[in-house]
Chains A and B, each alone.
Chain A
Amino acid sequence: MKNINYQRKEGMNMSAEYNIVLLALISIGSQVKTLTQLKTA
């Protein structure tokens, strides 16, 4: 169960950070979409 020798995989930082930025943009987009419904519904 315990992986004492764990080492962060190479390239993982960049990949995870890129995906987080992408998801953050999508989440902002989803909030904006909800807000537009409040103005127009």
Chain B
Amino acid sequence: MGVNLESRHLRRQYQQQPISGWTRRPDANRVDLPVRIYTLGRFSIQLHGHALYSRQARQRRPMEMLQALIALGGRDVGIDMLGHALWPDSDGDLARNNLEVTLHRLRRLFGVKNLFTLHDQRLSLNSSLGWVDAWSFERLVNHADRLLPLAGNPEVVRQLVRVGERLMALYQGNFLERETASTWSLTFRERLRSKLMRHILGFGRVWEQIGDWERAASYYRRGLEIDPLTEALYQRLIVCCRETGQHGDAMTTYLRCQTMLAQHFGIQPSPVTQNLYSSLKS
């Protein structure tokens, strides 16, 4: 169904009165979809451009259901799977009853018609009404996967610059990192994190190949902020610093790598890293 969200008439149809305990904070920006959900590094929701937040602990379960729905893919998620994720100790009937009650509360919280659809025992978050940062991140990663092998083309490189910047902007932190970890959230969290780290190295290589050392270095530094134990990032950063004549920074990077590996694992940098270090002194 096509939705003109600028239409006041239609928008009123989506809006229903939220239940008490939830308020809309007016200091957030307007957005093009009625619902925007941020899960990377934080958990926050914007409803019609206003922040939605809870003051009551009893809203915890509906929010957990939303989080689990997102982590499990968000589309056509079997309600048995969702029920098991949220109430692993409950039997099938009890879990299903809990799920129905919680889904009802979740729908009332948002008050957006058709935001959550249930067909054939499968629940979906309607992506034409709700935007999720983690999904946007995954779509961009998939797009980058198609672009990276074509990085010899200058137009593709220009696209990669935009995609890379957007990816970095979206990934504000790990998926639901401030929420209590659950099995369902961990799997999704680690998958996104792993994709980011892989793409940081992939993008960095492209920037190196076109001689954009500063951009490559900024990617590697960002990667080290996320995971300071990834030796490959130190290696590439040393190369970037060396190529731009920043030998001091290259030495500092090596020493930091050496310190981190010694502190955490009691091991020395690999021969590859040590050779890079030697190249700095020659």
Q: Do A and B bind each other?
A: no
* Residues of A in contact with B (beta carbons under 8 Å apart): none
* Residues of B in contact with A (beta carbons under 8 Å apart): none
